[in-house]
Chains A and B, each alone.
Chain A
Amino acid sequence: MSPSTPLNSPKASRLQAQERWLAKFTWPWRITWGYLTFMLLLPLAAMLLKASTEGWDKFWEIATDPVALSTYDVTFVTSLIAALINGVFGTLLAWILVRYDFPFKRLMDAIIDLPFALPTAVAGLTLATVYSDNGWIGSLLAPLGIKVAFTRLGVGVAMVFISLPFVVRTVQPVLSEMEREIEEASWCLGASQWQTFWRVIFPPLMPAILTGVALGFARAVGEYGSTVIIASNIPFEDLIAPVLIFQRLEQYDYAGATTIGVVLLGISLLMLLVINLLQAWGRRYDEH
């Protein structure tokens, strides 16, 4: 606003403001919003509107039908267990990678990102082979009566595979930035190793571990490629929600597919919110 100009009629100033606003809206902005609208917002709107045309009763009926409920059980419970397993072992891996030296450490560190880089179809194929009854690991488990491939356990193995890097990569930087003096102080004060870990190291690490678990859970819930190959995809046994969407689409049941899709989308958005809150909690530790 420049009150010095004599031509400052309300109309002119409004035009000026508009121009300034447009000038702020530079080409990068236009491309960003144009692309986001076309690629993300438009498809999202199409799906939500499609779901809303069905009506709430119909939506609820499809969303809570027994087959759908069983897929939620397999998808969410198995994802959660897989993410928690990685919460324990991922923290352990981050710990040994930051604190200890041993042969092939760099290789191990690099290989942790493999699940990001390896296409999921390949992951599913190789896990199904390794854990099948005559595979490298499956043949060791078969005599014990444990079947992995084509069971819910196999779905869990695939979910563990794809969600492993999340915990390691969120805990690792927090751990390496932690000051060792605090630990040494605690040792000097006579605390045992175990006490030092639980009372000094673990609390600031907790937000990072939980963030990693939440990220891994979110990824495992949506995972399709590796799980569809290692599972037998039988309802009430190891059918996961993404595969159910796929099957409904193949039967041209768009309402059914959309309903399950909206449920999955809702869970993803909820997880995004949880992750953002967890990260904000983690940042609070930095400031002190």
Chain B
Amino acid sequence: MSTELKVETTTDRPKQQGEKVQANWVPTILIGVGVLYLGVVLLIPALNVFVQAFHKGVGPFFQNLTEPDFLHAVKLTLLLALIAVPINTIFGLCAAWAIARNQFPGKTFVLSLIDLPFSISPVVAGLMIVLLYGRNGWFGGWLQAHDINIVFAFPGMLLATAFVSMPFVAREVIPVLEEVGTDQEEAAKTLGANDWQIFWRVTVPNIRWGLLYGIILTNARAMGEFGAVSVVSGNIAGTTQSLPLFVEESYKQYQTEAAYSASVLLALLAVITLAIKEVIERRTQIKTKVM
């Protein structure tokens, strides 16, 4: 222990007594300030979503939910997640396995590379896709000649969604894989299991909680992404409008009711994500890391 303990020992008795009194109200004040801050910054805005959506009752809320543009937005969002989440899960598992199970020069660099989509602004991510596949982009001419639309169409939105939700599975699974070690896998190999059997029967059960949390986060981000998707979508109601885009568009058109009805669905997605995270943390007793 090299922690410095060069503290003056000159405090006298009356002062110490004063501190004992102080010790009782310091926690109260700190908790009070903390709760107040969290309330103003997070809790009140979160509650506001539900209050605004239901303040005219449940009827108008459900009426908003049956509008065709809204239903199309929901369908599009689900479809985006349905394709992006499995692709990113496969990538995440491969990347996690390759990184956690191998020693090679530049490992930290590859790890940072995988994290990169988190540090890149969503708008910049969308811009990169436009520069690659847009009309004046690298592949623009070829795509136009073959009559393929990527930008301002579904494939572009899918690319944007997959880009921003790319790192989650890998970064949740890598620490678990490293902690589990290779003993059980090697034992299975000695007993004659093939690679596939080892993966399904030994590795997956070991990493299941990390994997599940990674998938949940991927899904939440894929369904909720706004910036990157909005750059490449063109935002045409009923065609290329996902749920978060629907929220913004309705708000801009002063259809606040519709915006809040859609927001409630997305907020519920957030609540479910947090609940599953809480369950996983209780099961594994491990606090999941931010970065």
Contact = CB atoms under 8 A, between A and B. Distances in A.
Do A and B belong to a common assembly?
Answer: yes
Nearest to B249: A121
A257 to B, nearest CB: 6
Contacts, number: 296
Interface of B: 1-11, 15, 19, 22-23, 26-27, 30-31, 33-35, 37-38, 40-46, 48-49, 52, 90-91, 93-95, 97-98, 108, 112-117, 119-125, 127-132, 134, 136-138, 159, 162-163, 166, 217, 220, 223-227, 230-231, 243-245, 247-248, 251, 256, 259-260, 263, 266-267, 269-271, 273-275, 277-278, 287, 289-291
18 contacts: A28-B98, A29-B94, A32-B94, A42-B132, A93-B34, A110-B275, A112-B38, A117-B273, A118-B224, A119-B225, A120-B227, A121-B226, A125-B260, A223-B121, A242-B123, A246-B231, A272-B115, A272-B116
Contacts of B131: 43, 46-47, 50, 254, 258
Contacts of B1: 182, 288
A39 B259 contact: no
Which has the most chain A C-beta neighbours within 10 Å: B5, B48, B131, B251?
A: B131
A218 to B, nearest CB: 6
A39 B42 CA distance: 34
Contacts of A110: 274-275, 277-278
Overall SS of chain A's interface: helix
Interface residues of A, number: 102
Interface string A166-179: 10011011000000
B33 A92 contact: yes
Q: Which 7 A-B pairs have CB atoms at the shortest separation, nearest pair first?
A: A119-B224, A222-B121, A224-B227, A43-B128, A225-B226, A117-B270, A28-B94
Nearest to B120: A268
B223 A119 contact: yes
A89 interface: yes
Contacts of A40: 113, 116-117, 163, 166
B94 A31 contact: yes
A160 B38 CA distance: 11
B48 A249 contact: no
A161 interface: yes
Which has the most chain A C-beta neighbours within 10 Å: B7, B136, B256, B259?
A: B7
A189 B113 contact: no
A145 interface: no
